Amino acid sequence: MSSLCRGCFETGPETGGPARCPACGGHRLVRHPELHALEIAHIDCDAFYANVEKRDRPELRDKPVIIGGGRRGVVAAACYVARVYGIHSAMPMFKALKACPDATVLRPDMAKYRQVGRQVRDLMLETTPLVEPLSIDEAFLDLSGTAALHGGSPATTLARLARRIEDEVGVTASIGLSYSKFLAKIASDLDKPRGFAVIGRAEAEDFLIDKPVGIIWGVGKALKRSLERDGIRTIRDLRRHEEIALMARYGAIGKRLYRFARGRDARHVEPNAPAKSISAETTFDRDIADSKILLAEIWPLCEKVARRLKQAGLAGHGVTLKLKTKDFKQLTRSRRLPDPTRLAEALYQSVRPLIEREADGRHFRLIGVGASDLVDGDLADPPDLVNPQRDRQAKVEKAIDAVRAKLGDAAIGKGRGL
């Protein structure tokens, strides 16, 4: 049994050992037979938005803090004190405040969170160039071949990295260490906050067997319901089915179901993994049923998505409408575009019939639009002899972008944005 003290970074080959580190007396020990042989990690900052705010406002350190958009919005993040009251992300704000009336509610400051996230990312990149970001505050790391560089095993290097994040950035992070991305991500959730959990090769199949099938990355609500209808609720149930049968029943993801259920994941950490979608959404102050008002609300979101596509050098081959009813039922409607686009006007015209179809008298509290099936921006909006208006739209939008770049976003816009 190998051990590591996260206080002084002392390592040892103990077979049991005392509850505290023999070198420093600390109790933050990690023990695992494969501890110093594993190289794939998932690092996830703890309650990131809330902890950034607590860092900047020490008087809130021991108080419940919720990050969100007011009573009509939803919880974007909740600190661990607030989570004791059952508060979690995506929870309606009115329910969160009912559960914890004394919570401090703060509006998200995304510019600040992005800046802090970049600081965390820079520390990761100092540790290894093989960093695959998943969000503003989490990433996979491959530490293969770094032992000589850092003078210690990947486990020791990760413990030092977590300390640097805490000391230099002022937020805490949890680490999952394994031999694959799938299991490293699961491990990082096992010991939060300030955790360090390990899943090795020898234990992987036994560890997974009684877990719910939803633990598999890529199993969303719809697929989970389909699996449960077929009597597949746990990994044990899943293992009763052959790979070919799962693929025949569930398509390409059947291969992932079969392999992940057995702890097999051959995916590499990809430092430049492309974004899969770009989206924007807004929650209304009052529920909206009128299609004209919904269309007015979706236009600035189309502009925001188009701007992000252009900044990223990407284009979307698909568009998705997201709506949430007043009773929090979420609807998504998608369509494939004839050609990839990064024009706000093209996104708007594509999503417009989807909105008109869904606006059947129901009241909605949220609307969003996203571009999916992303491709290189050079493929965007090719000339179309059948639709010469496209070229004109592209020129108009390019001119608007140029004016805004010089004078600001409020300098010019289309009439429907007024």
Kindly list the catalytic residues: 138
Give the H or E element holding residue 50: helix 48-56
For residues 275 and 234, give the distance between their C-alpha atoms in angstroms, rounded to a whole number: 30
CB within 8 A of 376, min separation 6: which ones?
Answer: 313, 314, 315
Residue where the block lists tokens 């020990």? 29
For residues 282 and 369, give the distance between their C-alpha atoms in angstroms, rounded to a whole number: 10
For residues 236 and 233, give the distance between their C-alpha atoms in angstroms, rounded to a whole number: 8
Q: What are the distances in angstroms from CA 46 to CA 91, 175, 255, 283, 293?
A: 18, 10, 32, 25, 38
How long is the chain?
418
Q: What are the distances in angstroms from CA 304 to CA 224, 225, 307, 332, 401?
A: 32, 33, 5, 19, 12
Strand extents, DSSP E, 6-103: 11-12, 29-32, 40-45, 65-68, 75-78
Query: Do residues 196 and 162 touch, judged by C-beta distance below 8 A?
Result: yes
For residues 20 and 9, give the distance between their C-alpha atoms in angstroms, rounded to a whole number: 13
Give the type of residue at 249.
R
For residues 205 and 178, give the distance between their C-alpha atoms in angstroms, rounded to a whole number: 13
Query: Do residues 355 and 314 touch, judged by C-beta distance below 8 A?
Result: no
Produce one character per residue of 214-244: b if its CB has 16 or more CB atoms within 10 Å, e if not.
ebbeebeeebbeebeeeebebbebbbebeee
Strand-pair category, 277-288 with 196-198: unpaired
Name which of 349, 274, 351, 348 is nearest 314 in CA terms: 274
